[in-house]
Structure 1
């Protein structure tokens, strides 16, 4: 069987799209075919109002081993543009994950290594089995990060910890990353996907407009001075107040009933 990205809509979670990294026998190592499928799946999800959240996971209780070293060795004999094009497409997928206007949750079992770790970091939230491992192991094989791994780590943890993770290139336990806020929730082994789906379902009850705008504010905040960010908050607040979600949300709160948001 070849490497592929599987898309499914669990019957028990009608508002969530599950994307599963699948590469049997290779611990779900990545392949350019996955990148293209990922971009297509996210483009479709963005346009589908019935999808409220995305869960990214790996098949057979293993998230992703990262790049295939045998394929990388083969690419050394080819023009450098071949590898550059592959990394560019991976970057497009990572960017699509990060900029999707809907919540994206990574459900990690086993390990997330190399670009697999980058993919998990590109998600908004991470649920990991408490025995899962995360590794940026590039330096161990004479390489450097791709897929935005260094960008996300530099913004997620203190620089010293980011340097340690990338310099030593050793696996880091989910518990340690949970302590520093990279992993949001720990799950029992074998339960990361179920817990992520339950979380995605709960987010389906939150205003989609609010979630989209909050994601934008979070993305913009690190590069904006406070004065500019206050203006952005004002503009998002006013636009949200005049959005149908605010009418439904405020009415539901005052009427003491669950809100029913539509898109």
Structure 2
């Protein structure tokens, strides 16, 4: 990307059927990447072009060393209402292939976000349903506006969850609560979502400003170390206690030998603020 675009922000172009698409807005400044789902007239519902664009930007932010923190939100009143059901109907004669392509592309995007060595902040500005809920709760930090809500939505239209919901949700809130939310399809408001552990906190004021403030704080932290801790947290639920301690042992040794670890210890002993960006 051009330096001017990097500073000023830009729309990520992608190609679908030979046409430019603008379903994802992207801005990057001072180490923070800001991604916005941009189909507000459709509740930011996922169609194939938007899924393709999200994968493109997920690959970029995951592998660009200049990007230290990623935020993701929706344009307009909605965060994301899930898949575009109108597109489902238009492709009813080949729905299996259609869903495999759409969900498969989305899954690649979410896998990239989950594996990147930097934190993801989701700013849930409104209703998040279906795959939109899967995306929303996938952040390391989930900031929710008072008008945000979370609805599984799948069973209401005869479909099953995707976007990693059946992996993420039980780990956040427990199996019994996840069963209730997915099978009953009940709507969870922002305050309840925080209480259950689906969201980090509710933001009554300017959600974008709160997200920018958090991102600005995180970008000066030990990002490589944070990325490794992120990996440990994501894998710890599936490992035995002893096996996970072995992973932690290997990780803390590597962290101690890293530039960030050396800088952090030196700064602590010198009673100064660490320069983790300089260390990298």
Question: TM range, normalised to the smaller chain?
Answer: over 0.9
Mapped pair 1:64 → 2:72 = no
User: How many Å separate the matches in 1 of 2:223 and 2:240?
Assistant: 27
User: How many Å separate the matches in 2 of 1:188 and 1:205?
Assistant: 26
Q: Give the secondary-structure state (helix, strand or coil) at the position aligned to 1:9.
A: strand
User: How many Å separate the matches in 2 of 1:101 and 1:30?
Assistant: 26
How far 1:130 moved relative to its partner? Answer: 2.1
Q: What is the TM-score when the length of structure 2 is the normalising length?
A: 0.88
2:230 counterpart (215, 221, 224): 215
Mapped pair 1:22 → 2:41 = no
- Per the alignment, residue 31 of structure 1 pairs with 47
Aligned length: 259
- Determine if contact 2:21/2:49 at 8 Å carries over to the other structure: no
Q: Give the secondary-structure state (helix, strand or coil) at the position aligned to 1:60.
A: coil
1:192 counterpart (207, 219, 223): 207
Higher-RCO chain (CA-CA 8 Å, sequence separation at least 6): 1
Q: Give the secondary-structure state (helix, strand or coil) at the position aligned to 1:84.
A: helix
Matches within 5 A, 1:119-158: 119-158=135-174
Q: Give the secondary-structure state (helix, strand or coil) at the position aligned to 1:137.
A: coil
Q: Give the secondary-structure state (helix, strand or coil) at the position aligned to 1:78.
A: helix
How far 1:79 moved relative to its partner? Answer: 5.5
Mapped pair 1:251 → 2:266 = yes
1:6 counterpart (25, 39, 52): 25
Show CA shifts across 1:56-80 (max 9, x none). Answer: 0001242111111111111212262
- Determine if contact 1:42/1:100 at 8 Å carries over to the other structure: no
- Determine if contact 1:2/1:23 at 8 Å carries over to the other structure: no
> Structure 1 segments of 4 or more deviating over 3 A?
none
Show CA shifts across 1:110-138 (max 9, x none). Answer: 11111000111222220001231111111
Mapped pair 1:232 → 2:251 = no
Q: What is the TM-score when the length of structure 1 is the normalising length?
A: 0.93
User: How many Å separate the matches in 2 of 1:252 and 1:208?
Assistant: 16
How far 1:155 moved relative to its partner? Answer: 1.4
Return 5+ residue gaps in structure 2 as ranges.
Answer: 1-19
Moved more, 50-59 or 149-158: 149-158
User: How many Å separate the matches in 2 of 1:17 and 1:198?
Assistant: 13
Q: Give the secondary-structure state (helix, strand or coil) at the position aligned to 1:6.
A: strand
Distance 1:174 1:55, change over 3 A: same
Q: Give the secondary-structure state (helix, strand or coil) at the position aligned to 2:214.
A: helix
User: How many Å separate the matches in 2 of 1:37 and 1:95?
Assistant: 15
User: How many Å separate the matches in 2 of 1:247 and 1:103?
Assistant: 21
User: How many Å separate the matches in 1 of 2:25 and 2:97?
Assistant: 28
User: How many Å separate the matches in 1 of 2:111 and 2:259?
Assistant: 29
How far 1:54 moved relative to its partner? Answer: 0.4
User: How many Å separate the matches in 2 of 1:31 and 1:3?
Assistant: 12
Matches within 5 A, 1:77-96: 77-78=93-94, 80-96=96-112
How far 1:170 moved relative to its partner? Answer: 2.3
Aligned-residue Cα RMSD (Å) equals 1.7
User: How many Å separate the matches in 1 of 2:213 and 2:180?
Assistant: 33
How far 1:204 moved relative to its partner? Answer: 1.3
